[in-house]
Amino acid sequence: MHKLVLIRHGQSQWNLENRFSGWADIDLTEQGVAEAREAGQLLKQAGFSFDLAHTSRLTRAVRTLWHVQDEMDAMWIPVVTDWRLNERHYGGLTGLNKAETAARFGDEQVKIWRRSYDTPPPPQDRAENPAVGDPRYADLAPEQIPDTECLKDTVERVLPYWHESLAPAIKAGRKVVVAAHGNSLRALVKYLDNISDEDIVELNIPNGVPLVYEFDDELRPLRHYYLGDAEAIAAKLAAVANQGKAKA
């Protein structure tokens, strides 16, 4: 049996401020650091160990991974950072407050922008795009830097990464951890669990909680589960779902 652990980064400053982040490089809050450390402790106590890590090019995911590695005495393992694990690009919504956006455009429209499979938010002006000219993306052709993305666009970059990098490593027996983002992980989970375009709308992923996948030899998922207190995880999931609603 093969295993894979997925972790969404801990709380970021813009999660705290309830702002759309996407490719904006926003760091963890103190709570986010604590969540990452707790994730590492939970993994250690449950007997997990890793010999390979993958993460995005965004600081909040990289730093989450650092804390997990530190708690697990695994600072030595190879780490691959790849833009294809980045958060979905939030286009022209980047930086806006989610509740204020819902008050302006309606809860339904914001839910479509946040969670629908194939409706992207309005594009972001190139001049405001945080990724343009950023040296961390020097290996991308200009047209690979998105102006906006729906989940379908995110699937189209995450899935090749799964097939080319993650799946072969897992099949070869490597013990892999992936630290990434709410929507890049939704893209991967949609594929792994064969979730329909309609049902993916209701799927949220909490900050800083290890999500364990177990696979058979052909990498068909056998089961998955979160590590940690079920009630606390349910509360975190509800909080993520509610972030896009206008305040009463």
Ligand X SMILES: O=C(O)[C@@H](CO)OP(=O)(O)O
What backbone torsions phi and psi does residue 197 show, to the nearest 5 degrees? -60, -30
Instruction: Candidates 80, 237, 240, 246: give the one binding ligand X (CB under 6 A).
Output: 240
Give the shortest CB-70-to-ligand X separation in angstroms.
23
Q: Which is nearer to ligand X, 182 or 210 (CB)?
A: 182
Q: Which is nearer to ligand X, 2 or 89 (CB)?
A: 89
Active site residue: 9, 54, 67, 181, which one?
9
What residues form DSSP beta bridges with 224?
Answer: 213
Q: Which is nearer to ligand X, 82 or 87 (CB)?
A: 87
DSSP string, the chain: -EEEEEEE---BHHHHTTB--TTS-PPB-HHHHHHHHHHHHHHHHTT---SEEEE-SSHHHHHHHHHHHHHTT-TTS-EEE-GGGSPPP-GGGTT-BHHHHHHHH-HHHHHHHHH-SS-PPPPPPGGG-TTTT-GGGTTS-GGGS-S---HHHHHHHHHHHIIIIIHHHHHTT--EEEEE-HHHHHHHHHHHTT--TTGGGG----TT--EEEEE-TT--EEEEEE-S-HHHHHHHHHHHHHTTS---
Closest by Cα among 119, 74, 112, 113 to 96: 113
Note whether 56 binds ligand X by CB under 6 A.
no
Q: Which is nearer to ligand X, 68 or 205 (CB)?
A: 205
Residue 181, annotated as binding a ligand:
no
Active site residue 9: yes
Instruction: Candidates 183, 185, 190, 200: give the one binding ligand X (CB under 6 A).
Output: 183
Active site residue: 35, 38, 71, 87, which one?
87
| x-or-dash string of contact with ligand X, 89-128, rule CB under 6 A | -x-------x---------------x--------------
Note whether 165 binds ligand X by CB under 6 A.
no
Give the shortest CB-173-to-ligand X separation in angstroms.
32
| x-or-dash string of contact with ligand X, 4-33, rule CB under 6 A | -----------x----xxx-----------
Nearest residue to the partner ligand X, using Cβ: 21
Give the shortest CB-119-to-ligand X separation in angstroms.
13
What residues form DSSP beta bridges with 216?
Answer: none
d(CA 178, CA 246): 32
Q: In the complex, which residues of this chain contact ligand X (CB under 6 A)?
A: 15, 20-22, 87, 90, 98, 114, 182-183, 240, 243-244
Binding residues for substrate: 8-15, 21-22, 60, 87-90, 98, 114-115, 182-183
Q: Mind telling me the catalytic residues?
A: 9, 87
